Chain A
Amino acid sequence: MKKFDFDYPIDIAWCPGCGNFSIRDTLIDALQELDINQTDVVFSSGIGQAAKMPQYINASYFNGLHGRALPVAVAIKATNPNLTVIAEGGDGDMYGEGGNHFIHNIRRNSDITHLVHNNMVYGLTKGQASPTSKKDFTTPVQVSGVTNEPFNPLSVALTLGATFVARTFSDEKELTKEIIKQAINHKGYALVDILHPCVSFNKINNFAWYKNNTYILEENYDNSNLMDSMKVAMDTEKMALGIIYKGKEQLTFEKQLAVYQNNLTPISFRKRDLTSVNELID
Chain B
Amino acid sequence: MRESLTIVISGEAGQGLQTCEDLIMNSSSKQYYVYSCSDVMSRVRGGNNTVEIRVSNFHVYAYKNKIDILFLLNDHSFDRLKNRIGDNTIVFGEESFASRSFIENKNGKFIELNLEYLAKKAGSKLFTNTILYGFTAGLLDLDSDKCHRQIEDRFKKLNDNIISDNKKAFDIGYQDLKKNNIQIKVTKSEEAKNYKVLHGNTAVGIGALAGGCNFISAYPMSPGTGLLEYLAEKSQDFEVIVEQAEDEIAALNMVIGAWYGGARAITTTSGGGFSLMHEAVSLSAMTETPCVIHLAQRPGPATGLPTRTEQADLTNAVYAGHGEFSRIVLAPGKLEDGVLLTQKAFYFADKYQVPVIILTDQHFLESIGQMKKFTLNEKYLKSYIVKTNKDYKRYELNESGISDRGIPGYGEGFVKVDSDEHDENGSITEDFDMRVKMNKKRLARKQLILSDYVDADLIGPKTYKHLIVGWGSTYGVLKEFIEGREKQDTAFLYVKQVFPLDKRLLDYFSSNKTIIVIENNSTGQFANLLQQELGINIQHRVNKYSGEPFSIEEIERSLEEVLNEKI
Contacts and interface: CB of A to CB of B under 8 A. Distances in A.
A44 B254 CA distance: 11
A72 B253 contact: yes
Nearest to A61: B416
Contact of B209 (A40, A61, A272): A272
22 contacts: A38-B414, A39-B409, A39-B413, A44-B257, A47-B419, A61-B417, A63-B418, A63-B419, A64-B257, A68-B249, A71-B250, A72-B253, A75-B260, A76-B257, A78-B241, A78-B243, A80-B409, A259-B214, A259-B239, A267-B239, A269-B262, A272-B214
Interface size class, chain A: 35 or more
A68 B215 contact: no
A84 B25 CA distance: 50
A77 B409 CA distance: 11
A166 B204 CA distance: 45
A76 B417 CA distance: 13
**Chain B contact surface mostly:** mixed
Nearest to A47: B419
Nearest to B415: A60
Contact of B250 (A52, A104, A272, A276): A104
Q: Which of A54, A76, A259 has the most CB of B within 10 A?
A: A76
B255 interface: yes
Given A64-B283, A281-B374, A71 B245 contact: yes
B383 to A, nearest CB: 8
A72 to B, nearest CB: 3
A68 B253 CA distance: 7
A269 B238 CA distance: 14
Interface string A50-88: 001011001111111100100111111111101100000
B211 to A, nearest CB: 8
Contact of B246 (A59, A64, A103): A103
B280 interface: yes
Given A39-B412, A259-B240, 20 more contacts: A38-B414, A39-B413, A40-B408, A55-B418, A63-B416, A63-B418, A68-B253, A68-B280, A75-B256, A82-B409, A83-B261, A104-B250, A258-B235, A259-B214, A267-B239, A269-B410, A272-B209, A276-B238, A277-B210, A282-B196
B438 to A, nearest CB: 15
A80 B413 CA distance: 16
A206 to B, nearest CB: 28
Given A267-B263, A272-B214, A278-B376, A79 B381 contact: no
A96 interface: no
B298 to A, nearest CB: 24
Interface in A94-150: 100-101, 103-104
A252 to B, nearest CB: 14
A270 B419 contact: no
A79 B262 contact: yes
Nearest to B260: A62
Interface in A25-51: 38-40, 42, 44, 47
A1 interface: no
A60 B417 CA distance: 8
A161 interface: no
B214 A267 contact: yes
A72 B420 contact: no
Contact of B428 (A39, A40, A55, A58): A55
Contact of B376 (A60, A72, A277): A277
* Chain B CB within 10 A, most for which of A54, A68, A71, A78: A71
Contacts, number: 181
B237 interface: yes
Contacts of A78: 215, 241, 243, 258, 261
Given A75-B265, A263-B239, A274-B376, A65 B246 contact: no
Contacts of B251: 71
A274 B339 CA distance: 13
B287 interface: yes
B427 interface: yes
A281 B428 contact: no
Contacts of A103: 246
Contacts of A272: 209, 212, 214, 238, 381
A208 interface: no
Contacts of B237: 276
A12 to B, nearest CB: 11
B118 interface: no
Nearest to B283: A65
A270 B408 contact: no
Which has the most chain A C-beta neighbours within 10 Å: B206, B247, B418?
B418
Interface in B231-284: 235-241, 243, 245-247, 249-251, 253-258, 260-263, 265, 279-280, 283
A268 interface: yes
B250 A278 contact: no
B452 interface: no
Contacts of A79: 215, 241, 257-258, 261-263, 265
